[in-house]
Structure 1
Amino acid sequence: MRVMAFDYGTKRIGIAVTDPMQIIATGLDTIHPLKIIDYLKKYLQAEPVERFIVGEPKQMDNTPSQSAIHVKGFVNLLKKTFPEIPIEMLDERFTSKMASATIAQSGMGKKARQNKELVDTISAVILLQSWMSKSF
């Protein structure tokens, strides 16, 4: 079964998933928070997901960042809507910077680096790859 990761933001949620063998993490989509539950219900009808990974926003001193309260609300919504799917939190510090650097290194131009949806999706991939490397 797949594992799905979320880079939560109040404007967009970047989503990444593993392949069924949990070897490769791939960017799936970027969804507005108000549409995420309908999106997930549709996705989960077609693909089984065994676990959700949610980026936990922290500051440099390891305390929760300002957006942590929004992420907590999102996690509670996931728990309520999909109680059978376990949720793990994973430190997401630097994922957006790493995503922008990845886009730059890929040869894409400045416009791609400024594409917030692309950055959010790649951030979710980085988050998922980080989880995968800890799981093996």
Structure 2
Amino acid sequence: MARILALDYGSKRTGIAITDVLQIIASGLTTVPTKELLPFLQDYLKKEDVELILVGEPKQMDNTASESEAYIVPFLKKLEKAFPNMPIKRVDERFTSKMAFQTMIDSGLKKKQRRNKALIDEISATIILQDYLHSK
């Protein structure tokens, strides 16, 4: 089996999570500046066996696309062009940032640590991935 990689795509930075090879556990990998995301993925996918990329799909409460979808769609086209043989799935990411923040509180992180937006993005990607694993 190969790993599954999840992205919490943002205009400034993108949180990345990955499964173990058995696809049981989702773990935060890192957060990278979005402008460096494609080179990071090209390097990572050369080293690791990944069978699927999940990309968070931000939606409004009424199930319509979020405003941020406007900059995710062009990225998806670049991603598909860079990795034409890699399956890419979208996953509803509503509330993941709030859940990530709550996870930080529940974990006992201090207020200063909870202001780390990169950590929130990485945890959000992990939540997206864990939700996908639970739905399989």
TM-score band w.r.t. shorter chain: over 0.9
- Which shows bigger deviation, 26-35 or 92-101? 26-35
- Which shows bigger deviation, 79-88 or 69-78? 69-78
Identify unmatched segments of 5+ residues in structure 2: none
Q: Please give the alpha-carbon distance, in whole angstroms, between the structure 2 residues aligned to 1:134 and 1:84.
A: 24
Q: Which residue of 1 aligns with 2:70?
A: 69
Q: Which residue of 2 aligns with 1:8?
A: 9
CA-to-aligned-CA distance 1:105-135 (integer Å, 9 cap, x gap): 0001111211100000000000000000011
Q: How many residues align?
A: 135
Q: Which residue of 2 aligns with 1:118?
A: 119
CA-to-aligned-CA distance 1:85-104 (integer Å, 9 cap, x gap): 10110110000000000000
- Which shows bigger deviation, 89-98 or 32-41? 32-41
SS in 1 for 2:60: coil
CA-to-aligned-CA distance 1:38-95 (integer Å, 9 cap, x gap): 1111111110110000000111111001100111111111101001110110110000
Q: Please give the alpha-carbon distance, in whole angstroms, between the structure 2 residues aligned to 1:73 and 1:7.
A: 15
Q: Which residue of 1 aligns with 2:29?
A: 28
Equivalence map 1:95-110=2 (5 Å): 95-110=96-111
Q: Please give the alpha-carbon distance, in whole angstroms, between the structure 2 residues aligned to 1:39 and 1:15.
A: 10
SS in 2 for 1:3: strand
Q: Please give the alpha-carbon distance, in whole angstroms, between the structure 1 residues aligned to 2:108 and 2:98.
A: 16
Identify unmatched segments of 5+ residues in structure 1: none
Deviation at 1:17, TM superposition (A): 0.3
Percent identity, please. 51
SS in 2 for 1:133: helix
Runs of 4+ in 1 over 4 A off after TM superposition: none
Deviation at 1:33, TM superposition (A): 1.3
Deviation at 1:20, TM superposition (A): 0.7
